[in-house]
């Protein structure tokens, strides 16, 4: 078993692990930055004896943007092999658990969850469906006889002609 101790290291001395598979969106980077500013660095990054970062790449990137010069890291009592570094990096990034959405729905404010990094899709919130408007307005009329229908059509034509004449005067 490897024994770990905390050690303070200048951020500029730490080395990126070239196989780190994780990235952050700008949004998640902002959320992480806000969290680090508010709560501090509780989850310390993990490095190998050669100061290669095993876990905490995103936290370190945000801290560097915040112009932090030194950081406390977990440091092993022996050098990890490349295979151990690969495994530990993947395990750290993969094992995240799952949320209990019933607890989230019943114990937390939706607005808070959205502010803390969830989005509508995460929470199963459907955006209202857009109602498709028909291409043309459709009106259905019934007439008691043909004469009433012709009278109605004639009246519509008169109104249309009046409207056209008014538009020509204005235009």
Higher pLDDT, 158 or 136: 158
* 4-97 placed in CATH 3.20.20.70: no
Residue 167 has pLDDT above 70, yes or no: no
How far apart CA 38 and CA 44 sit, in angstroms, is 15
Higher pLDDT, 23 or 67: 67
Q: Is 92 exposed, middle or buried (0-12, 13-18, 19+ CB in 10 A)?
A: middle
* Highest mean pLDDT, choosing among 71-80, 98-107, 120-129: 71-80
Please state which of the ranges 21-25, 42-46, 80-84, 133-137 shows the lowest mean pLDDT: 133-137
Please state which of the ranges 32-46, 71-85, 116-130, 152-166 shows the lowest mean pLDDT: 116-130
| Contacts of residue 136, Cβ cutoff 8 Å, sequence gap at least 6 | none
pLDDT, one tens digit per residue, over 46-97 is 999 999 999 999 999 999 999 999 999 999 999 999 999 988 888 887 766 6
- Claim: this prediction has a pTM higher than 0.85: no
DSSP state of 125: P
| Contacts of residue 12, Cβ cutoff 8 Å, sequence gap at least 6 | 69
pLDDT score for 49: 97
Residue 35 has pLDDT above 80, yes or no: yes
Higher pLDDT, 99 or 60: 60
CB 70, CB 33: distance < 8 Å: no
pLDDT score for 124: 77
Query: So where are the chain's domains?
Result: 4-97
pLDDT score for 169: 64
């Amino acid at each position: 078993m490897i024994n770990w101790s905390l050690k303070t290291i200048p951020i500029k001395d730490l080395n990126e692990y070239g196989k780190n598979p994780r990235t952050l969106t700008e949004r998640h980077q902002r959320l992480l930055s806000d969290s680090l500013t508010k709560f501090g660095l509780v989850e310390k990054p993990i490095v190998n004896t050669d100061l290669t970062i095993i876990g905490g790449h995103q936290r370190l990137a945000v801290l560097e943007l915040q112009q932090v010069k030194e950081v406390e890291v977990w440091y092993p009592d022996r050098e990890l092999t490349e295979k151990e570094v690969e495994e530990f990096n993947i395990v750290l990034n993969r094992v995240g658990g799952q949320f209990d959405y019933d607890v989230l729905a019943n114990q937390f404010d939706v607005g808070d969850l959205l502010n803390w990094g969830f989005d509508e899709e995460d929470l199963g919130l459907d955006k209202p469906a857009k109602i498709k408007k028909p291409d043309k307005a459709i009106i259905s009329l019934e007439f008691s006889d043909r004469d009433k229908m012709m009278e109605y059509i004639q009246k519509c034509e008169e109104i249309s002609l009046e409207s056209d004449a008014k538009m020509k005067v204005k235009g």
